[in-house]
Structure 1
Amino acid sequence: MRKNPSEGQPFPIELIEQRAAFRGHLKVDELRLRHGLFGGGMSDVMTREVIWRRDAVVVIPYDPKRDEVVLIEQFRASALFNGDRAWMVEFVAGLIEDGETPEAVGIRELQEESGLEPLGPLLHVTTPYATPGFASERFHLYCAPVDASKAGGIHGLVHEHEDIRVFSLPFAEAYALWQRGGAPNTPICIGILWLALHREKLQREWGDPGGLPHR
Protein backbone atom coordinates (compact mmCIF):
# COMPACT_ATOMS: atom_id res chain seq x y z
CA MET A 1 0.00 0.00 0.00
CA ARG A 2 1.19 3.54 -0.73
CA LYS A 3 2.59 5.52 2.23
CA ASN A 4 -0.03 8.15 1.40
CA PRO A 5 -3.24 6.14 0.78
CA SER A 6 -4.98 9.24 -0.65
CA GLU A 7 -2.47 9.49 -3.52
CA GLY A 8 -4.23 9.01 -6.84
CA GLN A 9 -7.65 8.63 -5.19
CA PRO A 10 -10.73 10.77 -5.96
CA PHE A 11 -11.43 11.32 -2.22
CA PRO A 12 -9.20 11.53 0.87
CA ILE A 13 -8.42 8.34 2.82
CA GLU A 14 -7.19 8.31 6.41
CA LEU A 15 -5.47 5.03 7.34
CA ILE A 16 -5.55 4.88 11.14
CA GLU A 17 -4.04 1.43 11.65
CA GLN A 18 -2.87 -1.56 9.62
CA ARG A 19 -1.94 -4.82 11.31
CA ALA A 20 -1.18 -8.37 10.24
CA ALA A 21 -4.20 -10.44 11.29
CA PHE A 22 -3.06 -13.79 9.82
CA ARG A 23 -0.02 -15.13 8.04
CA GLY A 24 -0.27 -18.54 6.37
CA HIS A 25 -0.89 -19.71 2.81
CA LEU A 26 -2.99 -16.57 2.66
CA LYS A 27 -2.01 -13.25 4.25
CA VAL A 28 -4.75 -11.20 5.90
CA ASP A 29 -4.33 -7.61 7.12
CA GLU A 30 -6.81 -5.67 9.22
CA LEU A 31 -7.26 -2.00 8.32
CA ARG A 32 -8.91 0.71 10.41
CA LEU A 33 -9.70 3.69 8.20
CA ARG A 34 -12.16 6.31 7.10
CA HIS A 35 -12.68 7.82 3.66
CA GLY A 36 -14.29 10.74 1.89
CA LEU A 37 -17.99 10.53 1.06
CA PHE A 38 -19.75 11.37 -2.21
CA GLY A 39 -21.92 13.88 -0.38
CA GLY A 40 -18.98 15.51 1.39
CA GLY A 41 -17.24 14.96 4.70
CA MET A 42 -15.67 11.73 5.96
CA SER A 43 -17.08 8.34 6.85
CA ASP A 44 -17.02 6.94 10.37
CA VAL A 45 -14.00 4.83 11.28
CA MET A 46 -14.46 1.32 9.89
CA THR A 47 -12.57 -1.97 10.04
CA ARG A 48 -11.85 -3.94 6.89
CA GLU A 49 -9.95 -7.22 6.46
CA VAL A 50 -8.07 -7.61 3.17
CA ILE A 51 -6.46 -10.77 1.82
CA TRP A 52 -3.15 -9.75 0.27
CA ARG A 53 -2.30 -12.06 -2.63
CA ARG A 54 -0.03 -11.92 -5.65
CA ASP A 55 -1.61 -11.21 -9.01
CA ALA A 56 -2.46 -14.22 -11.14
CA VAL A 57 -2.33 -14.92 -14.87
CA VAL A 58 -5.11 -16.81 -16.66
CA VAL A 59 -4.72 -18.09 -20.21
CA ILE A 60 -7.49 -18.99 -22.65
CA PRO A 61 -5.88 -21.63 -24.92
CA TYR A 62 -7.74 -21.32 -28.23
CA ASP A 63 -7.24 -23.20 -31.49
CA PRO A 64 -8.54 -20.91 -34.27
CA LYS A 65 -8.29 -23.56 -37.00
CA ARG A 66 -10.31 -26.19 -35.13
CA ASP A 67 -12.42 -23.61 -33.23
CA GLU A 68 -11.66 -25.46 -30.00
CA VAL A 69 -10.94 -24.35 -26.45
CA VAL A 70 -8.51 -26.21 -24.20
CA LEU A 71 -9.78 -26.60 -20.65
CA ILE A 72 -8.41 -28.13 -17.46
CA GLU A 73 -10.10 -29.78 -14.49
CA GLN A 74 -8.69 -29.93 -10.96
CA PHE A 75 -9.72 -30.20 -7.28
CA ARG A 76 -10.79 -26.99 -5.50
CA ALA A 77 -11.33 -27.03 -1.73
CA SER A 78 -13.37 -23.80 -1.83
CA ALA A 79 -16.06 -25.51 -3.95
CA LEU A 80 -16.05 -28.47 -1.54
CA PHE A 81 -16.60 -25.98 1.33
CA ASN A 82 -19.81 -24.79 -0.37
CA GLY A 83 -21.00 -28.31 -1.12
CA ASP A 84 -20.48 -27.87 -4.86
CA ARG A 85 -18.63 -30.19 -7.23
CA ALA A 86 -15.03 -30.07 -5.96
CA TRP A 87 -13.44 -30.81 -9.35
CA MET A 88 -13.76 -27.56 -11.29
CA VAL A 89 -13.37 -26.86 -15.02
CA GLU A 90 -11.06 -23.90 -15.56
CA PHE A 91 -8.56 -22.19 -17.81
CA VAL A 92 -4.81 -22.52 -17.28
CA ALA A 93 -3.67 -20.16 -14.49
CA GLY A 94 -0.87 -19.38 -12.05
CA LEU A 95 0.55 -16.73 -9.72
CA ILE A 96 3.16 -14.14 -10.71
CA GLU A 97 6.41 -14.51 -8.76
CA ASP A 98 8.91 -11.73 -8.10
CA GLY A 99 10.64 -10.54 -11.27
CA GLU A 100 8.24 -12.30 -13.66
CA THR A 101 6.14 -10.68 -16.36
CA PRO A 102 2.52 -11.76 -16.80
CA GLU A 103 3.30 -13.02 -20.33
CA ALA A 104 6.16 -15.22 -19.08
CA VAL A 105 3.92 -16.66 -16.37
CA GLY A 106 1.22 -17.38 -18.93
CA ILE A 107 3.63 -19.32 -21.14
CA ARG A 108 5.04 -21.22 -18.14
CA GLU A 109 1.63 -22.18 -16.81
CA LEU A 110 0.44 -23.20 -20.27
CA GLN A 111 3.38 -25.61 -20.48
CA GLU A 112 3.07 -26.93 -16.91
CA GLU A 113 -0.69 -27.31 -16.71
CA SER A 114 -1.57 -28.34 -20.26
CA GLY A 115 1.67 -29.50 -21.90
CA LEU A 116 1.05 -27.06 -24.76
CA GLU A 117 3.26 -24.40 -26.33
CA PRO A 118 1.74 -21.15 -27.60
CA LEU A 119 1.94 -20.83 -31.39
CA GLY A 120 2.36 -17.06 -31.15
CA PRO A 121 2.35 -14.15 -28.70
CA LEU A 122 -0.24 -14.08 -25.94
CA LEU A 123 -3.02 -11.55 -26.50
CA HIS A 124 -3.98 -9.50 -23.43
CA VAL A 125 -7.73 -9.42 -22.81
CA THR A 126 -8.30 -7.62 -19.48
CA THR A 127 -7.06 -7.37 -15.87
CA PRO A 128 -10.00 -7.44 -13.44
CA TYR A 129 -10.04 -7.85 -9.67
CA ALA A 130 -11.10 -11.37 -8.73
CA THR A 131 -13.04 -10.45 -5.55
CA PRO A 132 -12.57 -6.72 -4.81
CA GLY A 133 -14.73 -6.83 -1.68
CA PHE A 134 -11.93 -8.45 0.34
CA ALA A 135 -8.95 -9.52 -1.80
CA SER A 136 -6.15 -7.58 -3.49
CA GLU A 137 -5.64 -10.21 -6.21
CA ARG A 138 -6.13 -9.27 -9.85
CA PHE A 139 -5.89 -11.71 -12.73
CA HIS A 140 -4.27 -10.84 -16.04
CA LEU A 141 -6.38 -12.61 -18.66
CA TYR A 142 -4.71 -13.60 -21.94
CA CYS A 143 -5.64 -15.64 -24.99
CA ALA A 144 -3.03 -17.92 -26.57
CA PRO A 145 -3.13 -19.62 -29.98
CA VAL A 146 -2.56 -23.35 -29.56
CA ASP A 147 -2.87 -26.67 -31.39
CA ALA A 148 -5.78 -28.28 -29.55
CA SER A 149 -5.15 -31.64 -31.25
CA LYS A 150 -2.20 -32.06 -28.87
CA ALA A 151 -4.25 -31.39 -25.73
CA GLY A 152 -4.89 -34.22 -23.31
CA GLY A 153 -3.52 -36.26 -20.45
CA ILE A 154 -2.76 -35.48 -16.82
CA HIS A 155 -0.45 -32.57 -16.02
CA GLY A 156 0.72 -30.34 -13.16
CA LEU A 157 3.52 -30.22 -10.60
CA VAL A 158 3.51 -33.00 -8.01
CA HIS A 159 5.25 -30.88 -5.36
CA GLU A 160 2.41 -28.34 -5.68
CA HIS A 161 -0.18 -31.14 -5.31
CA GLU A 162 -1.47 -30.51 -8.83
CA ASP A 163 -3.46 -33.25 -10.54
CA ILE A 164 -4.80 -31.61 -13.69
CA ARG A 165 -6.87 -33.25 -16.42
CA VAL A 166 -6.52 -31.56 -19.81
CA PHE A 167 -9.13 -31.77 -22.56
CA SER A 168 -10.44 -29.73 -25.48
CA LEU A 169 -13.96 -28.90 -26.61
CA PRO A 170 -15.42 -27.24 -29.68
CA PHE A 171 -16.22 -23.67 -28.73
CA ALA A 172 -19.98 -24.29 -28.98
CA GLU A 173 -19.72 -27.14 -26.45
CA ALA A 174 -17.51 -25.10 -24.12
CA TYR A 175 -20.02 -22.26 -24.28
CA ALA A 176 -22.89 -24.67 -23.54
CA LEU A 177 -20.94 -26.15 -20.61
CA TRP A 178 -20.49 -22.68 -19.11
CA GLN A 179 -24.11 -21.71 -19.88
CA ARG A 180 -25.51 -24.65 -17.93
CA GLY A 181 -23.29 -23.88 -14.92
CA GLY A 182 -20.62 -26.50 -15.55
CA ALA A 183 -17.71 -24.06 -15.10
CA PRO A 184 -18.73 -21.65 -12.30
CA ASN A 185 -15.67 -19.43 -11.95
CA THR A 186 -14.98 -15.83 -12.92
CA PRO A 187 -12.16 -16.32 -15.50
CA ILE A 188 -14.25 -18.84 -17.46
CA CYS A 189 -17.26 -16.51 -17.40
CA ILE A 190 -15.23 -13.60 -18.77
CA GLY A 191 -13.11 -15.68 -21.14
CA ILE A 192 -15.94 -17.61 -22.78
CA LEU A 193 -17.99 -14.47 -23.34
CA TRP A 194 -14.92 -12.64 -24.71
CA LEU A 195 -14.26 -15.53 -27.10
CA ALA A 196 -17.88 -15.47 -28.23
CA LEU A 197 -17.35 -11.85 -29.31
CA HIS A 198 -13.85 -12.17 -30.75
CA ARG A 199 -13.28 -15.72 -32.02
CA GLU A 200 -14.22 -14.92 -35.63
CA LYS A 201 -11.58 -12.19 -35.64
CA LEU A 202 -9.06 -14.60 -34.11
CA GLN A 203 -9.90 -17.15 -36.78
CA ARG A 204 -9.18 -14.59 -39.47
CA GLU A 205 -5.95 -13.36 -37.88
CA TRP A 206 -4.65 -16.62 -36.38
CA GLY A 207 -6.23 -19.26 -38.60
CA ASP A 208 -3.57 -18.93 -41.27
CA PRO A 209 -0.19 -20.12 -39.88
CA GLY A 210 1.40 -17.25 -41.79
CA GLY A 211 -0.77 -14.84 -39.81
CA LEU A 212 0.71 -15.80 -36.45
CA PRO A 213 3.61 -13.50 -35.53
CA HIS A 214 6.61 -15.23 -33.97
CA ARG A 215 7.27 -14.94 -30.25
Structure 2
Amino acid sequence: MYDKNDVQVLNSETLYQGFFKCNKFTLKHKLFSGEWSKPIQREFFERGKAAALLAYDKEKDSVILVEQFRFGAMESKQSPWLLELIAGMIDKGEDAEEVAKREAFEEAGLVIEECQFMLSYFVSPGGTTETLDLFIANVDSTNVGGVFGLDEEGEDIRVHVVPREQAYQWVKSGKIDNAATIIGLQWLELNYKQGLNI
Protein backbone atom coordinates (compact mmCIF):
# COMPACT_ATOMS: atom_id res chain seq x y z
CA MET A 1 0.00 0.00 0.00
CA TYR A 2 1.34 3.39 -0.96
CA ASP A 3 1.58 6.37 1.42
CA LYS A 4 2.48 10.06 1.23
CA ASN A 5 6.15 9.15 0.68
CA ASP A 6 5.11 7.88 -2.76
CA VAL A 7 4.13 11.40 -3.89
CA GLN A 8 6.52 14.12 -5.02
CA VAL A 9 5.34 17.75 -5.06
CA LEU A 10 7.40 19.43 -7.77
CA ASN A 11 5.93 22.91 -7.45
CA SER A 12 3.16 24.82 -5.66
CA GLU A 13 1.64 28.19 -6.48
CA THR A 14 -1.02 30.22 -4.67
CA LEU A 15 -3.76 31.15 -7.15
CA TYR A 16 -6.01 32.96 -4.70
CA GLN A 17 -5.77 34.07 -1.06
CA GLY A 18 -8.87 35.51 0.60
CA PHE A 19 -11.35 34.09 3.09
CA PHE A 20 -10.26 30.76 1.59
CA LYS A 21 -7.18 29.84 -0.41
CA CYS A 22 -6.67 28.01 -3.71
CA ASN A 23 -3.28 26.48 -4.56
CA LYS A 24 -2.04 24.90 -7.77
CA PHE A 25 0.27 21.90 -7.39
CA THR A 26 2.50 20.14 -9.89
CA LEU A 27 3.15 16.62 -8.65
CA LYS A 28 3.83 13.05 -9.56
CA HIS A 29 2.99 9.84 -7.76
CA LYS A 30 3.74 6.15 -7.86
CA LEU A 31 1.58 4.11 -10.21
CA PHE A 32 0.26 0.64 -9.36
CA SER A 33 2.82 -0.70 -11.86
CA GLY A 34 5.60 0.62 -9.59
CA GLU A 35 6.60 3.33 -12.08
CA TRP A 36 6.16 7.08 -11.53
CA SER A 37 3.35 9.06 -13.17
CA LYS A 38 4.06 11.93 -15.52
CA PRO A 39 3.86 15.35 -13.80
CA ILE A 40 0.24 16.36 -13.31
CA GLN A 41 -1.33 19.62 -12.15
CA ARG A 42 -4.13 19.92 -9.61
CA GLU A 43 -5.84 22.97 -8.11
CA PHE A 44 -6.93 22.52 -4.50
CA PHE A 45 -9.29 24.51 -2.35
CA GLU A 46 -7.44 24.93 0.96
CA ARG A 47 -10.13 25.18 3.60
CA GLY A 48 -8.43 23.45 6.53
CA LYS A 49 -10.16 21.43 9.23
CA ALA A 50 -13.71 21.68 10.50
CA ALA A 51 -15.66 20.25 13.42
CA ALA A 52 -19.36 19.35 13.57
CA LEU A 53 -21.62 18.35 16.43
CA LEU A 54 -24.72 16.15 16.40
CA ALA A 55 -26.75 17.41 19.37
CA TYR A 56 -29.00 14.51 20.41
CA ASP A 57 -31.62 14.45 23.16
CA LYS A 58 -31.58 10.79 24.23
CA GLU A 59 -34.59 11.18 26.50
CA LYS A 60 -36.81 12.69 23.79
CA ASP A 61 -35.07 10.82 20.92
CA SER A 62 -34.69 14.09 19.01
CA VAL A 63 -31.87 15.88 17.23
CA ILE A 64 -31.10 19.57 16.95
CA LEU A 65 -30.57 20.81 13.42
CA VAL A 66 -29.66 24.32 12.29
CA GLU A 67 -30.99 25.95 9.14
CA GLN A 68 -29.03 28.54 7.21
CA PHE A 69 -28.49 29.89 3.70
CA ARG A 70 -25.66 28.30 1.68
CA PHE A 71 -24.76 29.89 -1.66
CA GLY A 72 -23.07 26.65 -2.76
CA ALA A 73 -26.50 24.98 -2.66
CA MET A 74 -28.18 27.42 -5.06
CA GLU A 75 -28.69 24.57 -7.56
CA SER A 76 -30.26 22.29 -4.94
CA LYS A 77 -33.58 20.71 -5.90
CA GLN A 78 -34.80 21.55 -2.40
CA SER A 79 -33.59 24.97 -1.25
CA PRO A 80 -30.32 26.81 -0.59
CA TRP A 81 -31.44 27.02 3.07
CA LEU A 82 -30.02 23.76 4.39
CA LEU A 83 -30.78 21.72 7.50
CA GLU A 84 -27.39 20.95 9.00
CA LEU A 85 -25.47 19.85 12.04
CA ILE A 86 -23.83 22.52 14.16
CA ALA A 87 -20.38 23.11 12.65
CA GLY A 88 -17.46 25.47 12.27
CA MET A 89 -13.92 25.85 11.03
CA ILE A 90 -10.96 25.01 13.27
CA ASP A 91 -8.45 27.84 13.47
CA LYS A 92 -4.75 27.13 13.85
CA GLY A 93 -3.99 25.96 17.38
CA GLU A 94 -7.62 25.16 18.22
CA ASP A 95 -8.91 21.80 19.44
CA ALA A 96 -11.72 20.21 17.37
CA GLU A 97 -13.84 19.32 20.40
CA GLU A 98 -13.63 22.85 21.80
CA VAL A 99 -14.64 24.26 18.41
CA ALA A 100 -17.69 21.95 18.35
CA LYS A 101 -18.69 23.16 21.83
CA ARG A 102 -18.15 26.84 20.93
CA GLU A 103 -20.18 26.52 17.73
CA ALA A 104 -23.00 24.82 19.66
CA PHE A 105 -23.34 27.96 21.78
CA GLU A 106 -22.94 30.42 18.87
CA GLU A 107 -25.32 28.61 16.50
CA ALA A 108 -27.92 27.14 18.86
CA GLY A 109 -27.46 28.58 22.34
CA LEU A 110 -26.38 25.17 23.67
CA VAL A 111 -23.88 24.81 26.50
CA ILE A 112 -22.10 21.49 25.93
CA GLU A 113 -20.11 20.06 28.84
CA GLU A 114 -19.11 16.75 27.26
CA CYS A 115 -19.17 15.32 23.77
CA GLN A 116 -17.96 12.10 22.21
CA PHE A 117 -15.85 11.77 19.07
CA MET A 118 -17.68 9.88 16.31
CA LEU A 119 -15.40 9.90 13.26
CA SER A 120 -13.26 11.99 10.95
CA TYR A 121 -13.44 12.12 7.16
CA PHE A 122 -12.15 13.92 4.06
CA VAL A 123 -14.89 16.20 2.73
CA SER A 124 -14.01 15.91 -0.99
CA PRO A 125 -10.36 14.87 -1.45
CA GLY A 126 -10.46 15.25 -5.24
CA GLY A 127 -10.61 19.03 -4.89
CA THR A 128 -10.08 20.13 -1.28
CA THR A 129 -7.82 19.26 1.65
CA GLU A 130 -10.65 19.89 4.15
CA THR A 131 -11.30 17.26 6.83
CA LEU A 132 -14.18 17.19 9.29
CA ASP A 133 -14.18 15.80 12.85
CA LEU A 134 -17.66 14.76 13.91
CA PHE A 135 -18.85 14.68 17.55
CA ILE A 136 -22.07 13.77 19.36
CA ALA A 137 -23.42 15.18 22.64
CA ASN A 138 -26.45 14.44 24.75
CA VAL A 139 -28.53 17.58 25.30
CA ASP A 140 -31.82 18.64 26.83
CA SER A 141 -33.87 20.07 23.97
CA THR A 142 -36.75 21.32 26.16
CA ASN A 143 -36.18 25.06 25.66
CA VAL A 144 -34.11 24.92 22.48
CA GLY A 145 -35.11 27.06 19.50
CA GLY A 146 -34.82 30.53 18.02
CA VAL A 147 -32.47 32.36 15.69
CA PHE A 148 -28.74 32.55 16.40
CA GLY A 149 -25.40 33.31 14.73
CA LEU A 150 -22.73 35.98 14.78
CA ASP A 151 -23.55 39.28 13.03
CA GLU A 152 -19.88 39.85 12.20
CA GLU A 153 -19.84 36.55 10.28
CA GLY A 154 -23.11 37.28 8.47
CA GLU A 155 -24.83 34.35 10.17
CA ASP A 156 -28.61 33.98 10.34
CA ILE A 157 -29.26 30.53 11.82
CA ARG A 158 -32.62 29.05 12.80
CA VAL A 159 -32.66 26.15 15.25
CA HIS A 160 -34.98 23.14 14.90
CA VAL A 161 -35.69 20.25 17.27
CA VAL A 162 -36.61 17.24 15.14
CA PRO A 163 -37.54 13.69 16.16
CA ARG A 164 -34.69 11.33 15.22
CA GLU A 165 -36.97 9.21 13.04
CA GLN A 166 -38.18 12.27 11.12
CA ALA A 167 -34.62 13.54 10.58
CA TYR A 168 -33.58 10.15 9.23
CA GLN A 169 -36.59 10.07 6.89
CA TRP A 170 -35.41 13.45 5.57
CA VAL A 171 -32.04 11.84 4.81
CA LYS A 172 -33.77 9.01 2.96
CA SER A 173 -36.04 11.36 0.99
CA GLY A 174 -33.23 13.77 0.09
CA LYS A 175 -34.59 16.75 2.04
CA ILE A 176 -31.32 16.66 4.00
CA ASP A 177 -28.68 16.73 1.29
CA ASN A 178 -25.37 17.79 2.84
CA ALA A 179 -22.62 15.32 3.72
CA ALA A 180 -21.89 16.05 7.39
CA THR A 181 -25.56 15.87 8.36
CA ILE A 182 -26.19 12.71 6.34
CA ILE A 183 -23.13 11.01 7.83
CA GLY A 184 -23.98 12.09 11.38
CA LEU A 185 -27.61 10.96 11.17
CA GLN A 186 -26.64 7.65 9.55
CA TRP A 187 -24.10 7.07 12.34
CA LEU A 188 -26.85 7.77 14.89
CA GLU A 189 -29.24 5.42 13.12
CA LEU A 190 -26.63 2.64 13.25
CA ASN A 191 -25.71 3.24 16.90
CA TYR A 192 -28.61 4.65 18.95
CA LYS A 193 -30.05 1.23 19.83
CA GLN A 194 -26.77 0.20 21.47
CA GLY A 195 -27.38 2.70 24.26
CA LEU A 196 -25.04 5.58 23.45
CA ASN A 197 -22.62 6.38 26.26
CA ILE A 198 -23.07 10.15 26.04
Superposed pair shares fold, TM > 0.5: yes
Q: CA deviation at 1:10?
A: 6.1
- 4+ runs deviating over 6 angstroms: none
* Cross-structure match for 2:126: 133
Pick which of 193-202 and 142-151 moved more.
Answer: 193-202
- Matched-pair identity in %: 32
* Cross-structure match for 1:33: 27
Q: CA deviation at 1:148?
A: 1.2
Q: Distance in 2 between matches of 1:170 and 1:184?
A: 18
Q: Distance in 2 between matches of 1:110 and 1:100?
A: 15
Within a 5 Å distance, the mapping from 1:1-215 to structure 2 comes to 9=3, 12-81=6-75, 85-118=79-112, 120-202=113-195, 205-206=197-198
Count of aligned pairs between the two proteins: 197
* Residue identity in the other structure for 1:156: G
* Residue identity in the other structure for 1:135: T
* Residue identity in the other structure for 1:143: I
Structure with more of its chain in strand, by fraction: 2
* Residue identity in the other structure for 1:34: K
Could you say if the C-alpha distance between residues 17 and 82 of structure 1 is closer, same or farther in structure 2, counting changes exceeding 3 Å? farther
Q: Distance in 1 between matches of 2:77 and 2:56?
A: 31
Q: Distance in 2 between matches of 1:127 and 1:14?
A: 26
Q: Deviations over 1:177-202 (max 9, x none)?
A: 11111110111111111101111234
CA RMSD, Structure 1 to Structure 2 (Å)? 1.6
* Residue identity in the other structure for 2:61: D
Q: Distance in 2 between matches of 1:150 and 1:200?
A: 25
Q: Deviations over 1:77-99 (max 9, x none)?
A: 00115575110000000011122
- Preserved CA contact (<8 Å) 1:11 1:36: no
* Residue identity in the other structure for 1:186: A
Q: Distance in 2 between matches of 1:33 and 1:84?
A: 39
- Preserved CA contact (<8 Å) 1:17 1:32: yes
Could you say if the C-alpha distance between residues 10 and 164 of structure 1 is closer, same or farther in structure 2, counting changes exceeding 3 Å? closer
Q: Distance in 2 between matches of 1:121 and 1:195?
A: 17
- Preserved CA contact (<8 Å) 2:78 2:175: no
Could you say if the C-alpha distance between residues 22 and 10 of structure 1 is closer, same or farther in structure 2, counting changes exceeding 3 Å? closer
TM-score, normalised via structure 2 length:
0.94
